[in-house]
């Protein structure tokens, strides 16, 4: 039995909510539940009643450049899912909330801080036998005005990573140990998405993302357990600038969430270029 979210000792525990919390707010107009998955068939096959879908490729990525959506596109998305800047958005999804954390992270680029992640994601909701529906809700379009996207506080680019290496900054490689060592260039059972070189960014510590969760139900480990891994065992310092990366930035947004909110790291960014950029970048330093 996993300890209740409130009793796990997280630094900013308010961003993580339980399935109970969500179940109690299904008809609360100030809360919008958002499902973000890797598998596009899951939402239409059944989702939390009232939940809308935000897809990482179609909704959050620019459709031409490798980048995130523009302010105008974010405003249009927010309008479509019927939220205002005051709406509390709660993300959940498959794959232990990888894409939920990714969507949460993109929403932070636009300063939507009234955001939560549902602990355990879709897996836990299903395991608990809670209601699912195929009915797609229709919300009235809202007017949502925000500022330009601000990448700086949350997102790292390749030149910043290079400077970070020179400054001996903290880097966390959240991929599998085989990807870190360069033995393979993609996740086990996933296709190679085109990295020419294997290995890791010099100085990066290998802390696979999955170490942060309880595999049985996808919930996050307690703050004490997380400190044992990230602070004691790996000697990361919460006050030092930290950059996390993986292959395209989805698994590392999960670790970004853990470091920033659950452990209270004060300066942590996600390098979404990750290995699909670094492993192809001419002249980029690589360690094996």
Partner 1 sequence: MLPATLREILDTFALVSDPADRAALLIDFADQFRQVPPHVAVPPFPKQRRVPACESEAYVWLVPQADGTANLHFAVENPSGVSAKALASILTSTLSGLTPEEIEQVSPDIVEQIFRQNISMGKGMGLMAMVQAVRALARAARQR
Q: Does 39 help bind partner 1 (rule: CB under 8 A)?
A: yes
Which of these is catalytic: 22, 31, 165, 246? 246
Q: Give catalytic status of residue 246 as yes or no.
A: yes
Q: How many residues are there in the chain?
A: 288
Q: Residue 40 Cβ, how far from partner 1 at the closest point, in Å? A: 5
Contact region with partner 1 (CB under 8 A), list: 20-28, 66-74, 183-191, 211-219: 183-191
Strand order, beta sheet including 115-118: 16-17, 115-118, 88-92, 31-35, 52-53
288 with 182: CB under 8 angstroms? yes
Cβ-based nearer residue to partner 1, 66 or 237? 66
Q: Residue 194 Cβ, how far from partner 1 at the closest point, in Å? A: 12
Q: Residue 248 Cβ, how far from partner 1 at the closest point, in Å? A: 9
One of 38, 151, 225, 287 touching partner 1 (CB under 8 A): 38
Q: Residue 92 Cβ, how far from partner 1 at the closest point, in Å? A: 13
68 with 149: CB under 8 angstroms? yes
Cβ-based nearer residue to partner 1, 75 or 126? 126
Q: Does 243 help bind partner 1 (rule: CB under 8 A)?
A: no
Q: Residue 45 Cβ, how far from partner 1 at the closest point, in Å? A: 5
Contact region with partner 1 (CB under 8 A), list: 177-185, 189-197, 253-261, 264-272: 189-197
Cβ-based nearer residue to partner 1, 42 or 231? 42
Q: Does 42 help bind partner 1 (rule: CB under 8 A)?
A: yes
Pattern 75-114, binding to partner 1, x per CB under 8 A? -------------------x--------------------
Q: Does 45 help bind partner 1 (rule: CB under 8 A)?
A: yes
Residues in touch with partner 1 (CB under 8 A): 37-42, 44-45, 94, 122-123, 126, 187, 189-191, 193
Catalytic site residues?
246
């Amino acid at each position: 039995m996993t300890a209740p979210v409130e009793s796990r000792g997280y630094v900013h525990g308010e961003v993580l909510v339980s399935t109970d919390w969500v179940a109690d707010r299904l008809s609360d107009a100030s809360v919008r539940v958002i499902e973000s998955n890797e598998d596009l068939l899951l939402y239409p096959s059944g989702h939390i009643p009232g939940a809308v879908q935000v897809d990482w490729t179609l909704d959050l990525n620019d459709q031409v450049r490798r980048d995130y959506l523009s302010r105008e596109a974010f405003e249009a998305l927010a309008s479509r899912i019927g939220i205002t800047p005051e709406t509390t958005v709660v993300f959940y999804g498959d794959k232990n909330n990888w894409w939920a954390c990714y969507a949460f992270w993109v929403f932070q680029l636009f300063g939507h801080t009234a955001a939560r992640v549902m602990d355990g994601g879709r897996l836990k909701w299903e395991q608990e036998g809670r209601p699912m529906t195929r009915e797609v809700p229709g919300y009235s379009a809202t007017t949502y005005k925000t500022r330009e996207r601000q990448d700086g506080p949350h997102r790292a680019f390749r030149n910043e990573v290079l400077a970070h290496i020179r400054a001996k900054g903290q880097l966390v490689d959240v991929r599998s140990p085989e990807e870190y060592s360069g033995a393979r260039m993609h996740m086990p059972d996933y296709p190679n998405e085109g990295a020419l070189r294997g290995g890791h960014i010099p100085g990066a510590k290998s802390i696979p993302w999955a170490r942060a969760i309880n595999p049985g139900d996808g919930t996050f480990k307690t703050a004490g357990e997380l400190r044992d891994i990230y602070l004691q065992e790996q000697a990361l310092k919460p006050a030092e600038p930290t950059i996390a990366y993986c292959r395209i930035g989805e698994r590392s947004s999960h670790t970004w969430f853990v470091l920033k909110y659950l452990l209270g790291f004060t300066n942590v960014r996600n390098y979404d270029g990750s290995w699909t950029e670094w492993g192809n970048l001419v002249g980029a330093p690589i360690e094996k």
